[in-house]
Amino acid sequence: MSRTVVVAGVGPGLGASVARRFAIEGCRVALFARSESYIDELAAELDEDSAGEALAVPTDLTDPDAIESGFEAVRDAFGPVDVLVNHASGGSWKGLTDLSQEEFDRALDVGARGAFLCSQEAVGDMLGNDNDNDDGDTGGTVIFTGATSAIRGRDGALAFSAAKFAARGMAQSMARELGPKGIHVAHVVVDGGISPPNRTVENPEEYLDPDAIADSYWHLVEQDESAWTLELDLRPHVEKF
């Protein structure tokens, strides 16, 4: 079975690794990001090098209309969505006393409202999938990329903490609502820094390899519905936590 996947929020780090892994597995992968240049390049690479296909969909996740038309573009190209990865975040690293209202709004608009709207679009497809065809009882998968700040509010990162907590609350609510309908909702707590693309770091073992993270995303998609994971954490073996 070849899946249609939306990765909402793709940059050259984890987003790209997840998209690449899905493409390698033969999926049709739609890449959402505000800026066109990187996703165009990545889409070309995936079309060339993987078993799957890719589509760059320039989309501002703070704009509800853009999200709607982005999903329309995906459906036109690839058909209904089977997997959504809510991967975007927009938090500035400021505490209560320094944060502007605009920064707060932006973090919540990207990390909470954007994820809500993308989920509504994708889950509509997944429920429709379920009704329209006979592919069994699994309607799809929604994965949220979380962070330590989703389970432990962080000093000096008020809006990021608020948005990451909000997304985790949504994931849990959706898992309870949608699990019985065959949709697997999962929340991944990425605890630690991810290896930066295109540069060398001094102590590479202190960073998560984004391809290794993508392995666990793929495992979540492949889990049998009799034993689904709502939440798992991921960290480098040397991480202090």
Window 168-187: residues binding a second copy (CB under 8 A) = 168-180, 182, 184
| Residue among 2, 37, 7, 32 at smallest CA distance from 19 | 7
Binding pattern for the stretch 136-165 against a second copy, x by CB under 8 A and - elsewhere = -xx----------xx-xxxxxxxx-xxxxx
Q: Smallest distance from the beta carbon of 226 to a second copy, in angstroms?
A: 4
| Residue among 188, 222, 194 at smallest CA distance from 208 | 194
Residues 6+ apart with CB under 8 A from 100: none
Q: Smallest distance from the beta carbon of 99 to a second copy, in angstroms?
A: 8
Judge whether 40 and 19 are in contact, CB under 8 Å.
no
Restricted to residues 39-98, the positions that interact with a second copy (CB under 8 A) are: 64, 95-97
| Residue among 74, 45, 81 at smallest CA distance from 59 | 74
Q: Smallest distance from the beta carbon of 31 to a second copy, in angstroms?
A: 22
Closest to a second copy by CB, 54 vs 150, is: 150
Q: Does 35 bind a second copy (CB under 8 A)?
A: no
Q: Smallest distance from the beta carbon of 114 to a second copy, in angstroms?
A: 11
Q: Does 126 bind a second copy (CB under 8 A)?
A: no
| Residue among 15, 101, 93, 2 at smallest CA distance from 59 | 15
Give the pair of three-digit tokens for residue 160: 């990021």
Buried (b) or exposed (e) across 185-223, using 16+ Cβ within 10 A? Answer: bbbbbbbbebbeeeeeeeeeeebbebeebbebbbebbee
Q: Smallest distance from the beta carbon of 131 to a second copy, in angstroms?
A: 13
SS3 state of residue 207: coil
**Size of site (CB under 8 A) for a second copy:** 82
Closest to a second copy by CB, 5 vs 147, is: 147
Which stretch in 5-13, 54-62, 82-90, 111-119 sits in contact with a second copy by CB under 8 A?
Answer: 111-119
Q: Smallest distance from the beta carbon of 28 to a second copy, in angstroms?
A: 24
Residues 6+ apart with CB under 8 A from 107: 89, 90, 91, 92, 159, 160, 162, 163
Q: Which of 117, 131, 146, 198 binds a second copy (CB under 8 A)?
A: 117
Restricted to residues 193-222, the positions that interact with a second copy (CB under 8 A) are: 195, 205, 207-209, 212-213, 215-216, 219, 222
